Amino acid sequence: MSTQRLRDEDYRDYSSTDASPEDSPSEGLNNFSSSGSYMRFGESNSTTWFQTLIHLLKSNIGTGLLGLPLAVKNAGILLGPLSLLVIGLVAVHCMRILVKCSHHFCYRLNKPFVDYGDTVMYGLEASPVSWLRNHAHWGRRIVDFFLIVTQLGFCCIYFVFLADNFKQVVEMANGTTSNCHNNETVILTPTMDSRLYMLTFLPFMVLLVFVRNLRALSIFSLLANITMAVSLVMIYQFTVQNIPDPSHLPLVASWKTYPLFFGTAIFAFEGIGMVLPLENKMKDPKKFSLILYVGMAIVTTLYVSLGILGYLQFGANIQGSITLNLPNCWLYQSVKLLYSIGIFFTYALQFYVPAEIIIPFFVARGPEHCELVIDLSVRTMLVCLTCIAAILIPRLDLVISLVGSVSSSALALIIPPLLEITTFYSEGLSPITIVKDALISILGFVGFVVGTCLTLYELTQPSRAPIFINSTSAFV
């Protein structure tokens, strides 16, 4: 068959560079389930603790990190970092809940591995409520739906990120210098609209996603990791220099902008879909809990530090991505281009997950001799869909907040605590645990509703983009 999909241990493991798909029949969306054929130990592609840690870091560090300085602005210089820390702790706790429930069903059902969707489905089957037991199959479908929305949302964000950064580099090209220290004000040279830049990238994105083998994408993943790592070092190097007086920055921002902070923050921490595949591929899965805590501690430290430093450095003029605030010299313009190159290649990796869920559904309903045509057509359609969505919402900060509020909050905060209740309630779950899980789910649901509504409202308001950009500071 020309259509391929990941085995269960690689399912949703789109950042792993050593994974590869296997040939298998196209089963369709409803039949995309665990085969139970993967053995936890002894596989040649099992990962060491260090490889697992690197994969965990890769799956959590992306465009969300660059939007956190604006998120801190929306919460306040004091409340923002504290909230980031709390959300990080809650997100890690929910990841641990998912792993615990997965282990429970592996032992109970004698399965070597169950993924996120299967874990939720089995959790509903264990529920004391008969209606939930009868509709347990919807658990997998709901998880798949939010995973598709999340991953395609990432792809939309990549279109906006690429358009914004390339547009700024082109507009500032005439005033770009080799001196990153002189305090000069640059007037942007108007070019075409950012949405035209998105259309320019569209054919290249389509060609990129025609690469259907995950192993073939590993070179792109390596290139993306190198360029993004170099860019982050340069961004940190700039933000720690000559920090202005922070006394004028509010400790707590308006409550009206806090939901925007929530959406961006939970978007940044939404790596829960990677947890089970990574744990399953380890040579020694017993060490995974320690690796999870260490890895997420590093991620949280990066998030809080860049959020604080970026807001302190650029103040009220911080933009949707901190790269848009970098000075107008060739060194930092190259940082924008490097990070953009990394994001471009990461698009194919993020796209792989929804493609491998959606494409078999269409291929299974078409003639066998048209499999390749249907496969490529669906890929083209999905890329065009993400481009159209980006064109309709061309504001990076609001796209990030919307994706975080709608889908990331469901996967990272709402579903895992409810899963723990349905899984262990009949086994004597303590009232304190039930209350704790209920509070976390309520928090996620409130963030989902309020964050989505406020983001949609902000999308109806005119954009307030700065016209003048300083070559060594983003202050206007």
- Residue 74: pLDDT over 50: yes
Helix axes 371-392, 194-209, angle to 10 degrees: 160
What pLDDT is stored for residue 25 in this prediction?
32
- Residue 65: pLDDT over 50: yes
At 306-316, the pLDDT tens digits run 999 999 999 88
Put simply, whether the predicted model's pTM sits higher than 0.85 gets the answer: no
- Residue 207: pLDDT over 60: yes
- Residue 196 neighbours by CB under 8 Å, 6+ apart: none
What pLDDT is stored for residue 275 in this prediction?
85
- Residue 375: pLDDT over 60: yes
Q: Which one of 189-203, 208-222, 292-306 scores highest in mean pLDDT?
A: 292-306
Please give, one letter per residue, the 3-state secondary structure of the chain: CCCEECCCCCCCCCCCCCCCCEECCCCCCCCCCCCCCCCCCCCCCCECHHHHHHHHHHHHCCHHHHCHHHHHHHHCCCHHHHHHHHHHHHHHHHHHHHHHHHHHHHHHHCCCCCCHHHHHHHHHHCCCCHHHHHCCHHHHHHHHHHHHHHHHHHHHHHHHHHHHHHHHHHHCHHHCECCCCCCCEEECCCCCCHHHHHHHHHHHHHHHHCCCCCCCCHHHHHHHHHHHHHHHHHHHHHHCCCCCCHHHCCCCCCCCCHHHHHHHHHHHCCCHHHHHHHHHHECCHHHHHHHHHHHHHHHHHHHHHHHHHHHHHHHHHCCCCHHHHCCCEHHHHHHHHHHHHHHHHHHHHHHHHHHHHHHHHHHCCCCHHHHHHHHHHHHHHHHHHHHHHHHHCCCHHHHHHHHHHHHHHHHHHHHHHHHHHHHHHHHCCCHHHHHHHHHHHHHHHHHHHHHHHHHHHHHCCCCCCCCEEECCCCCC
Sole residue written with tokens 């999340």: 150
Rounded Cα distance between 312 and 328, Å, is 19
At 262-276, the pLDDT tens digits run 999 998 887 787 788
- Residue 27: pLDDT over 50: no
Measured CA angle at 211 (ends 276, 170), to 5 deg: 100
**Which tokens in the block code for residue 195?**
């949405």
- Residue 58: pLDDT over 70: yes
The residue type at 305: S
- Residue 374: pLDDT over 80: yes
- Residue 44: pLDDT over 50: no
Residue 349: which of 233, 228, 232, 222 has the closest Cα?
222
Top pLDDT among 8 and 90 is at: 90
- Residue 159: pLDDT over 50: yes
265-300 residues labelled b (16+ CB within 10 A) or e (exposed): bbbbbbbbbbbbbbbbbbeebeebeebbeebbeebb
The residue type at 191: T
Sole residue written with tokens 């059902």: 109
What pLDDT is stored for residue 184 in this prediction?
53
Rounded Cα distance between 209 and 158, Å, is 14
At 431-455, the pLDDT tens digits run 999 999 999 999 999 999 998 998 8
What pLDDT is stored for residue 321 in this prediction?
87
- Residue 173: pLDDT over 90: no
387-401 residues labelled b (16+ CB within 10 A) or e (exposed): bebbbebbbbbbbbb
- Residue 97: pLDDT over 90: yes
What pLDDT is stored for residue 19 in this prediction?
36
- Residue 371: pLDDT over 70: yes
What pLDDT is stored for residue 179 in this prediction?
65
Environment class of 12 (CB within 10 Å of its CB; exposed 0-12, middle 13-18, buried 19+): buried
Beta bridge mates, 177: 329
Rounded Cα distance between 103 and 237, Å, is 42
At 306-360, the pLDDT tens digits run 999 999 999 888 988 898 888 888 888 888 888 888 888 888 878 887 888 899 8
The residue type at 356: E
What pLDDT is stored for residue 338 in this prediction?
86
At 230-252, the pLDDT tens digits run 888 999 998 998 888 888 899 99
Q: Which one of 23-37, 48-62, 445-459 scores highest in mean pLDDT?
A: 445-459
At 389-402, the pLDDT tens digits run 999 888 888 888 88
Arithmetic mean of pLDDT over the chain: 81
- Residue 11: pLDDT over 60: no
- Residue 227: pLDDT over 50: yes
What pLDDT is stored for residue 245 in this prediction?
85
- Residue 4: pLDDT over 50: no
What pLDDT is stored for residue 186 in this prediction?
55
Top pLDDT among 402 and 220 is at: 402
Rounded Cα distance between 309 and 94, Å, is 28
* Confidence at 84, pLDDT banded by 50, 70, 90: very high
Q: What is the mean pLDDT of residues 282-294?
A: 86
What pLDDT is stored for residue 463 in this prediction?
63
- Residue 153: pLDDT over 60: yes
* Confidence at 34, pLDDT banded by 50, 70, 90: very low
At 99-152, the pLDDT tens digits run 999 999 998 988 888 889 899 999 999 988 899 999 999 999 999 999 899 889
- Residue 291: pLDDT over 60: yes
